[in-house]
Amino acid sequence: MTVHEDRLHAEVDRELDQIRSSCEGLATRSGLLITATGIAVPIVAARLTITTVNKLQPVLAGALLALGIATLLGILTLLPSLTTGPRASSLQLWMSIGSSPRTSSLLYDAKVALVKGGALRVAVMQAFFRLQALTTVTALALGLWYSARK
């Protein structure tokens, strides 16, 4: 393997690592938001059943719905698993075949394809997380509005 190829492989490895850490960071933040909404849902639901002011019922219902949507988006953010490299069986096969430009090229192309898939996955996760944060803030605003008007 030439120095040029070595550098390219190192760069692809760095990008795969970055994708993995980005996914982990998003998953942690999303998990924290899920915990917060999970605590808030029973409180809002209980308040909705005992509230007597009819005009404020839709506000609480809206807050509950926003919390539900935020929880769902959080679950969607956490759902996927990540493929960070070629299959072990393929790696084993390429090793058994021996050193050649073809196996080196196969390894590089497989990693590049996974980088493309991973980058898209991070983008979708980010979109889901932003929507989750937005719906949580909406629920919070509705809750505060309810408290002020009560």
Contact string 7-46 vs another protein (x = CB under 8 A): ----------------------------------------
Alpha helix positions (H), 79-100: 88-97
Q: Does 90 bind another protein (CB under 8 A)?
A: yes
Nearest alpha carbon to residue 57 among 132, 149, 140: 149
Which of 10, 14, 109, 150 is close enough to bind another protein by CB under 8 A? 109
- Residue closer to another protein by CB (options 57, 147) is 57
Rounded CA-CA distance 16/22 in Å is 10
Q: Does 57 bind another protein (CB under 8 A)?
A: yes
Supply the minimum distance, in Å, between the C-beta of residue 79 and another protein.
Answer: 7
Q: What is the DSSP string of 54-68?
A: GGGHHHHHHHHHHHH
Count of residues that bind another protein according to CB under 8 A: 41
| Residue in the structure block whose two tokens are 């719905």 | 65
